[in-house]
Amino acid sequence: MAAGTRPSDIRLDSPFSVGGLTIPNRILLAPMSGVTDLPFRRRAISAGIGLAPAEMVASGELQRDRAESLRRIKGQGSALRAVQLVGRDAETMGIAARRLADEGIQIIDINMGCPAKKVTGGACGAALMTEPDRALRIVEHVRFSAGTAQVSVKMRLGWNHDQLNAAALARRFADAGVSMITVHGRTREQRYAGRADIDAIAGVRQAVPEIAFVANGDVTSRCEALRMLHRTGADAVMIGRAHYGQPYLAAHLLENGLAPGPSILFDYIAEHYEDMLIEYGSQRGRRHARKHLGWYLDRLRPHTDAALRQSILTAQEPEETLARLAEAFASTPMEEAA
């Protein structure tokens, strides 16, 4: 078998290992700031996601016991607990990693891929790829402090096409004890423009054949997931923005036969909405829920009447929101388009 490829009969629902941990399948959720909170992760896991890391936590804020950071790392039942850590000071990152390990986190993922200006402007996220020695020191401190927790790194192909250093960095990180590498197939300069470069992801995989490897970028269907695994030699694929408003995407990728009707979809979304109110309180929860409800409507009910959509997103009482949402899901998408 050629390097960088996997057999065509690879099963997405088969487990794989990250260090001494077993991930139940090969569909992972990308940690996304402001999105993959506890209510969202619960939904993703119930739909079949194999691993759902918490959104990124700043190392300095965790060290200072900031309440918001502590809320972000809360677990979700019996599922594996993973948290993404962001920062640029190796010592502070190490202290934060020890705190996460003490809290029972099983996988600590170091963010070296976020392209957002508010992150890279602080020389964090993808900006660390422009400072390879600093990036390695961070990995070494986190690995030393993490105890029995596994350490992973999520990164891009490089800062831009003149600095495609993901393969070289991945090799150094693996030698430092990282158990898993995730690569998004774009540079920071690209952000989310264009298409993910599958061949470039495969090149990074070839540099670290002995550890778990995850490919990220543009996977929205079962066919694309299998193609990504086969072409890159990755152990798993990671879904990010494609999961917005598609609660059963993981089930579709795993091909487990789920074909939810309107009532099942409504119940799922209503539970997510109510979970957000519990997690954040009524007022903050309603504000937080608006983007999720908007994504659900965009994906699942794109032909919803504009006035009805607006009433769902702006209702002041949860009961009114749910009543309007039930109205939107009372018809099938084809009936809406008729």
Residue 61: predicted pLDDT: 86
Q: Is 154 annotated in some ligand binding site?
A: yes
Q: Is 184 annotated in some ligand binding site?
A: yes
Residue 81 CA to residue 67 CA, distance in Å, equals 19
Residue 149 CA to residue 107 CA, distance in Å, equals 5
List of residues 6+ apart from 195 with CB closer than 8 A:
185, 217, 218
Q: Is the dihedral of CA 70, 73, 78, 80 positive or negative?
A: negative
Q: pLDDT, tens digit, for every residue of 303-319?
A: 999 999 999 999 999 99
Q: Is 84 annotated in some ligand binding site?
A: yes
Q: Which secondary-structure segment (H or E) carries 144?
A: helix 132-145
Contact 106, 149 (CB under 8 A): yes
Helix (H, G, I), strand (E, B) or coil at 220: coil
By percentage, how much of the chain surpasses pLDDT 70? Answer: 92
Average pLDDT score over the chain? 91
For residues 66-82, give the mean pLDDT.
Answer: 76
Helix (H, G, I), strand (E, B) or coil at 210: coil
Residue 249: predicted pLDDT: 83
Residue 194 CA to residue 236 CA, distance in Å, equals 22
The more confident residue out of 70 and 101 is 101
Enzyme catalytic residues: 114
15-19, 59-63, 138-142, 223-227: the lowest-pLDDT one: 59-63
pLDDT of 76 above 50: yes
For residue 278 the two structure tokens come to 């519990």
Q: Is 240 annotated in some ligand binding site?
A: yes
Q: pLDDT, tens digit, for every residue of 86-138?
A: 999 999 999 999 999 999 999 999 999 999 999 998 999 999 999 999 999 99
Closest to 210 (Cα-Cα) out of 255, 174, 260? 174
pLDDT of 301 above 60: yes
State the pTM of this model: 0.91
**Where are the extended beta strands (E) located within the chain?**
16-18, 21-23, 27-29, 54-58, 82-86, 107-112, 150-156, 180-184, 212-216, 236-239
Neighbour tally for 246: CB within 10 Å: 18
Residue 66: predicted pLDDT: 72
